[in-house]
Amino acid sequence: MLKDKVAIITGGTRGIGFEIARVFLENHAKVVIFGSKEESVNEALTSLREEGYDVDGYYPNLNEFNQVSQVVNEIHQKYGKIDILVNNAGISANKKIDDTTVEDFQKIMDINVNAMFYMTKAVVPLMKEAHHGVILNTSSMVSIYGQPSGVGYPTSKFAVNGMTKSLARELGTFNIRVNAVAPGVTNTDMVASLPKEMIEPLIKTIPLGRVGEPRDVANAFLFLASPLASYVTGEILSVDGAARS
């Protein structure tokens, strides 16, 4: 479905981002993963290469636009194009507002919103020049319903949705589609580390009766990146088993 497409995936070393990389590679895309540390990038590359995939990786500081732009341009020179950008890098939060420092809030916005803007700003001129492209952002079910603590996280994901919808309108005339995926509770390493007594009540609120798997979410990204979604833009696709709480 993605034969010969060149895709950059931020936050691609673990969890949902790693599975997106794997699914894209299975569908014959040329994939470049970004991670926060050299060690985590190398571990992810080793794992994917052991599965037989040819994959590349970088670890720029996503909050330094000049650094981001330089790496994006290096990738463009190497591969000749950038067809797909997946803005998946992000951090969560669960502190009550009384315990959330100004620095805590700023860090969430820096990674979840500002870094997404920097990556997008670096890629858009190249996509405009090619007159095609797909930008996919990782949102969250809490961007729609909020959450009882950790206000910075849903706030940042509301911003992701706003940027997604606005850029879809702005960039449509350049044949650039912009969408987001809003996962629900997903079986990543973070969720797997939670106690059983916390997870089981959550599962009872999900009509499908289970938490999502990274592959469930990655398949949604695959659909939106592929020609099957050629007339889909400005959408926030929920992948949450109909959980509404």
Q: Which residues are tagged catalytic? A: 153
Residue 85 three-state SS:
strand
Angle at 242 between CA 23 and CA 21, to 5 degrees: 10
DSSP-based three-state secondary structure for 54: coil
Beta strands in the chain (DSSP E): 6-10, 30-34, 55-58, 84-87, 133-138, 176-183, 236-239
Dihedral (CA of 102, 107, 108, 109) sign: positive
How far is residue 202's CA from residue 209's CA, in Å, rounded to a whole number?
Answer: 9
Residue 92 and residue 224: Cα distance in Å, rounded? 24
Give the integer Cα–Cα distance in Å for 176 and 215.
Answer: 25
Neighbours of 137 (CB within 10 A): 25
In DSSP terms, 176 is beta-bridged to 133
Q: For residues 206 and 66, give the distance between their C-alpha atoms in angstroms, rounded to a whole number.
A: 43
Between vectors from CA 15 to CA 52 and to CA 218, what angle results, nearest 5°? 75
